[in-house]
Structure 1
Amino acid sequence: MTGNPDAIIVGAGPAGLACAMTMRAAGLNVTVLEKAETVGSVWRRHYDRLHLHTDRNHSGLPGMAMPPIYPTYPSREQVVEYLESYTERFNIKPVFNATVRSIRRDGTQWRADAAQDLISAPVVVVATGIADTPYRPSWPGSELHRGRVIHSNEYRNPTPYVGKRVLIVGFGNSGGEIALDLANAKVDVGLAVRGPVQILPRDLLGFPILAWAILYRRLPARLVDLINAPILRLALGSIEELGLRRASKGPRQMVEEDGRVPLIDIGTLDKIRDGSIKIYGGIDRLTSDGVVFAEGRSEKFDAIILATGFRPDLRQLLPDVEGIFDKHGMPLLTGRATNAPGLYFCGQITSPTGQLREIGLEAQCIADSARGYIAAHHGFSVR
Structure 2
Amino acid sequence: MTTNVDVVVIGGGQAGLAAGYYLRRAGHRFVILDDQERPGGAWPHMWSSLHLFSPAEFASLPGWPMPRWPDGFPPARHVVDYLTAYETRYGLPIERPVRVQAVRRDGPDLLVDTDRGQWRARRVISATGTWQRPFLPSYPGINVFTGRQLHTVDYRSAAEFTGSDVVVVGGGNSAAQLVAEISTTARTIWVTNRPPRFLPDGVDGRALFELASRRAVALAAGRTDPGGIAALGDIVMVPEVLAARERGVLTALPMFDRLTVDGIAWGERHQRADVVVWATGFRPALAHLRPLRLRDHTGTVPVAGTRALKEPRLHLLGYGDWTGPGSATLLGVGRTAKAAVADLDLDLDLDTRPA
Kindly indicate whether residue 344 of structure 2 is the aligned counterpart of residue 370 of structure 1: yes
RMSD after superposition: 2.7
Q: Deviations over 1:108-163 (max 9, x none)?
A: 10111111522111010000113321001132222221100000111011111011
Larger CA deviation: 284-293 vs 191-200? 191-200
| Worse overlay, 161-170 or 52-61 | 52-61
Q: Which deviates the most, 98-107 or 131-140? A: 131-140
Identity, in percent, stands at: 27
The equivalent of 1:195 in structure 2 is 194
What does residue 12 of structure 2 align with? 12
Among 304, 318, 336, which residue is 2:276 paired with?
A: 304
Contact residue 36 and residue 97 of structure 2 kept, 8 A: yes
In structure 2, what is the equivalent of residue 217 of structure 1? 213
Tell me the distance in 2 between the aligned counterparts of 1:202 and 1:4.
51
Contact 2:326 2:333 in 1 (8 A): no
What whole-Å deviation, never above 9, does each CA across 1:87-110 have from its counterpart, x for those lacking one? 010112311121111111111101
TM-score, structure 2 as length reference: 0.87
Q: Cα offset for 1:201?
A: 3.5
Q: Deviations over 1:279-324 (max 9, x none)?
A: 221121111110013x54210011010000001252x322243556
Q: Which amino acid aligns with 2:319?
A: Q
2:298 aligned with 1:327:
yes
Q: Is the aligned partner of 1:287 residue 2:260?
A: yes
| Structure 1 residue 340 displacement after superposition | 1.9
1:53-64 aligned at under 5 Å gives the runs 53-64=53-64
**1:344–1:366 Cα contact (<8 Å) kept:** yes
Distance 1:253 1:327, change over 3 A: farther
Q: Are residues 1:276 and 2:245 paired?
A: no
The unaligned stretches of length 5 or more in structure 1 are: 226-249, 255-260
Task: Select between 362-371 and 208-217 the one with higher mean Cα deviation.
Answer: 208-217
> Structure 2 counterpart of 1:53, which letter?
F
1:118 to 2:124 alignment: no
> Which is further off, 214-223 or 367-376?
214-223
The two structures have a TM-score, normalised by structure 1, of 0.81
- Distance (Å, rounded) in 1 between the aligned partners of 2:46 and 2:71: 19
Q: Name 1:65's counterpart in structure 2.
A: 65
Structure 1 SS opposite 2:83: helix
| 3-state SS of paired residue (2:102) | strand
**Deviation per residue, 1:248-282 (Å, 9 max, x gap):** xx74459xxxxxx8111224366356443552211
Q: Contact 1:173 / 1:264 at 8 angstroms: preserved in 2?
A: yes
Listed as ranges, the matches of 1:1-383 within 5 Å are 3-69=3-69, 71-183=71-183, 185-201=184-200, 203-204=202-203, 208=204, 210-211=206-207, 213-214=209-210, 217-219=213-215, 224-225=226-227, 251-252=229-230, 262-266=234-238, 267-268=240-241, 271-272=244-245, 274-293=247-266, 296-312=268-284, 314=286, 316-322=287-293, 327-330=298-301, 332-336=303-307, 338-350=309-321, 351=325, 355-379=329-353
- 2:6 maps to a residue whose letter is D
Residue 189 of structure 1 deviates from its aligned partner by: 0.8
* Paired residues, number: 344
**Contact 1:333 1:345 survives alignment (8 Å):** no
Residues in 2 aligned to 1:335 and 1:71: alpha-carbon distance in whole angstroms: 36
Q: Contact 2:171–2:194 (CA<8 Å) still a contact in 1?
A: no
Q: 1:213, CA displacement in angstroms?
A: 4.8
1:278–1:151 Cα change, 3 Å: same
Q: Separation in 2 of the partners of 1:303 and 1:201? A: 31
